[in-house]
Amino acid sequence: MLGRLQSLGHWALGTFERLGRASTLLLSILAGLPGLLLRPRLLIQQTFSIGVLSLLIIVVSGWFVGMVLGFQLYNTLVDFGADASLGPVIALTLVRELGPVVTALLFAGRAGSALTAEIGLMKATEQLSGMEMMAVDPIKRVLAPRFLGGVISMPLLAAIFSIVGVYGGYFVGVGLLGVDKGSYWAQMQSMVDFHDDVLNGIIKSVVFGVVATWIAVFEGYDAVPTSEGVSRATTRTVVHTSLAVLGLDFVLTALMYGVS
Partner 1 sequence: MTTPLVEIRDLHFARGSRPIFDGIDLDIHRGKITAIMGPSGTGKTTLLKLIGGQLRPQSGRVTVDGRNVHTLRHGELYELRKRMGMLFQSGALLTDLDVYENVAFPLREHTDLPEPMIRDLVLMKLEAVGLRGARNLMTNELSGGMARRVALARAIALDPMMIMYDEPFTGQDPISMGVLVKLIRSLNDALGLTSIIVSHDVQETAAISDYIYLLSGGKVVAHGSPEELEHSSSEWAQQFLQGLADGPVPFHYRAVPYADDLLAGRETGGAR
Whether residue 56 contacts residue 107, with contact meaning beta carbons closer than 8 Å, is answered with: no
Give the H or E element holding residue 2. Answer: helix 2-36
Give the nearer residue to partner 1 in terms of CB position, either 127 or 253.
127
Q: Is 225 in the site for partner 1 (CB under 8 A)?
A: no
Least Cβ distance, residue 120 to partner 1 (angstroms) = 13
Least Cβ distance, residue 132 to partner 1 (angstroms) = 6
Q: Is 147 exposed, middle or buried (0-12, 13-18, 19+ CB in 10 A)?
A: buried
Looking at the chain, the number of H-run helices and the number of E-run strands are 12, 0
Give the nearer residue to partner 1 in terms of CB position, either 229 or 252.
229
CA-angle at 62, arms to 48 and 41, nearest 5°: 10
Least Cβ distance, residue 193 to partner 1 (angstroms) = 45
Question: In sequence order, what are the residues at sequence separation of 6 or more whose Cβ sits closer than 8 angstroms to the Cβ of residue 242?
Answer: 105, 108
Give the nearer residue to partner 1 in terms of CB position, either 31 or 239.
31
Q: Is 175 in the site for partner 1 (CB under 8 A)?
A: no
CA gap 253, 91 in Å, rounded = 16
Least Cβ distance, residue 126 to partner 1 (angstroms) = 4
Q: Is 232 in the site for partner 1 (CB under 8 A)?
A: no
User: Among residues 98, 213, 85, 112, which one has the least CA distance to residue 163?
Assistant: 98
Q: Is 19 in the site for partner 1 (CB under 8 A)?
A: no
**Cα Rg of the chain, angstroms:** 21
Give the nearer residue to partner 1 in terms of CB position, either 5 or 134.
134
Q: Is 24 in the site for partner 1 (CB under 8 A)?
A: no
Least Cβ distance, residue 154 to partner 1 (angstroms) = 23
User: How many binding residues for partner 1 (CB under 8 A)?
Assistant: 14
Give the nearer residue to partner 1 in terms of CB position, either 53 or 176.
53
Q: Is 253 in the site for partner 1 (CB under 8 A)?
A: no
Give the nearer residue to partner 1 in terms of CB position, either 98 or 142.
142
Least Cβ distance, residue 195 to partner 1 (angstroms) = 43
Give the nearer residue to partner 1 in terms of CB position, either 127 or 231.
127
Number of CB atoms found within 10 A of residue 161's CB: 30
User: Distance of CA 39 to CAs 19, 35, 47, 136, 214, Å?
Assistant: 30, 7, 13, 14, 21
End-to-end, the C-alpha distance of the chain in Å comes to 46
Scanning residues 112 to 171, which ones bind partner 1 (CB under 8 A)? 122, 125-127, 129-137, 141
Least Cβ distance, residue 35 to partner 1 (angstroms) = 12
DSSP summary character for residue 179: -
List residues near partner 1 by CB under 8 A: 122, 125-127, 129-137, 141
